[in-house]
Amino acid sequence: MMGLIMAALVATSPPSPQPTPIEQYDVLVSAGHEGRPASCPHFPKHKCNLGAAGERQWTPVVADEITRSLRASGIAVAREPADFNGFFEVKAAVFIHFDGSDRPCSTGASIGYHDAGSSAAAQLWRDMYSRYFPFTFMPDNFTVNLRDYYAFRQVHAADGALVIELGEISCPAQREWLSTRLKPVSDLVADFIRRLIAKR
Ligand SMILES: [Zn+2]
């Protein structure tokens, strides 16, 4: 059941034109870089990062399939692009990306999260995806951008909020492998989310 609750105004803060709405869903699924650059002027505090070559074409495909699969299981999903308004109270949040590197084939899959409350979720996804993904899996939070992803501050996810980099698409071998597997990879992410949120 999804609902819209208006956050209580904090007495000490200056009056704002509108209180921040808190949106409640089971899961938030965001497609990295989707909607840019058109959305960039509306979110001047976000870096207008357009992603690796080809990334912006793939992240919505993956996010849509994850969303379809979860909704088919009766799970309430907020499907968001890269830039969105509001604050989300959910069980799990995933921000879908593919990595790109100036030194092709120097990275692979990776996971980003901001605090220890998401480390069990990261471990579960690593266990599941590393059995399937035949290339390198980088250490968690191997870049600052992974740990301090801008959208983490717009979500509270009880079971975990993760940036999921599904592979390095600037690496021809990884790109080719991923290109024919976007659906099974997406369905694996959906399975991961179902397992994650079923734990409580
Ligand atoms: Zn990205």
Tens digits of residue pLDDT in 36-93: 999 999 999 999 999 999 999 999 999 999 999 999 999 999 999 999 999 999 999 9
Distance in Å, CA 42 to ligand 1 centroid? 19
User: Residue 99 pLDDT > 80, yes or no?
Assistant: yes
Q: What percent of the chain has pLDDT over 70?
A: 90
| The pLDDT value given to residue 13 | 54
Q: How far is the CA of 74 from the centre of ligand 1 (A)?
A: 28
End-to-end CA distance of the chain: 17
* 144 CA to centre of ligand 1 in angstroms: 13
Crossing angle (nearest 10°) for helices 119-130 and 182-198: 140
Cα-based angle 128, 165, 182 (whole degrees, multiple of 5): 70
Judged on CB neighbours under 10 Å (0-12, 13-18, 19+), 10 is exposed
Cis bond upstream, residue 37 (ω within 30): yes
Measure 23 CA to ligand 1 centroid, in angstroms: 24
By the CB criterion, residues less than 5 angstroms from ion ligand 1 are 32, 51, 97
**Token pair belonging to 78:** 């907020």
Question: Can you read off the two tokens belonging to residue 6?
Answer: 């208006």
Give the closest residue to 4 by CA, choosing from 28, 20, 23: 23
Query: 193 CA distance to ligand 1 centroid (A)?
Result: 20
State residue 11's pLDDT score: 46
State how far Cα 84 lies from the chain centre: 13
Antiparallel, parallel or unpaired: β 77-80 and 27-31: parallel
110 CA to centre of ligand 1 in angstroms: 11
- Give me ligand 1 centre to Cα 162, in Å: 13
Q: Are the C-beta atoms of residues 157 and 118 closer than 8 Å to each other?
A: yes
CA 17 to centroid of ligand 1, rounded, Å: 32
pLDDT at residue 200 tops 80: no
Q: How many CB atoms lie within 10 A of CB 164?
A: 24
Query: Ligand 1 centre from 14 Cα, in Å?
Result: 35
pLDDT of residue 153: 96
Q: Could you read off the pLDDT of 3-49 as tens digits, one per residue?
A: 444 444 444 555 555 667 899 999 999 999 999 999 999 999 999 99
Residue 72 CA to ligand 1 centre (angstroms): 27
Distance 165 CA to ligand 1 centre (A): 7
Å from CA of 8 to ligand 1 middle: 34
pTM score of the predicted model? 0.90
- How far is 163 from 93, CA to CA, in rounded Å? 8
Ligand 1 centroid – CA 197 distance (Å) = 25
pLDDT at residue 21, rounded to an integer? 81
Instruction: Give the pLDDT score at 20.
Output: 73
pLDDT at residue 12 in the model: 54
Model pLDDT, residue 199 = 67
Whose tokens are 């692979």? That residue is 108
Structural tokens at position 158? 């009880």
